[in-house]
Structure 1
């Protein structure tokens, strides 16, 4: 069953291009280890809530933009094995400088329960 790794983070708005560059550079490794698709989205209509919202969840600052992204895998087993391999890959031993505060990034693994298309 298809499996998704989802990510939610706040990126300094001025670092948008640096984030895009980092994501594009990461794709070949994800693909090499079995990912089918990677989607990075830049928040353009993210409302502030009264009780909770993406900004509160990521502790976003006024000069940051919310990013929501996901990686599609053929299944959970491929995703789990890929992350293990990536962590030992020599490319990951010297990761690039991150254009955001990784301590405020959230991630998790998800199985689809509804998948409809027009």
Structure 2
């Protein structure tokens, strides 16, 4: 029985100045004292030295046209397609600071569809 492993989908999103400031504040707080990062969020640095924030499923909610990270702010999603499949599990939101700006993606495990006893 084969089923798909986790998937990562890049989101078309627009960042506000307020969200940018909140992310920068979080990055600086994390650098000084990693224990100040709110529950459900984890921070790290990529090999290239870029700040990476991962929000667990408990720390964000996806609404039509937006994604809200608890304690940080909202990301406006461009387009009207859903970020992940209905019934997806183990969702996490990844935000990565790149030289071109912030890159947003969502990682999830798609639902397993079993086709049993089909004739």
Name the one with the larger helix percent.
1
Greater length-normalized contact order (CA 8 Å, ≥ 6 residues apart)? 1
TM-score of the two chains, using structure 1 as the length reference:
0.30
TM-score of the two chains, using structure 2 as the length reference:
0.30
Name the one with the larger strand percent.
2
Query: Bigger radius of gyration, 1 or 2?
Result: 2
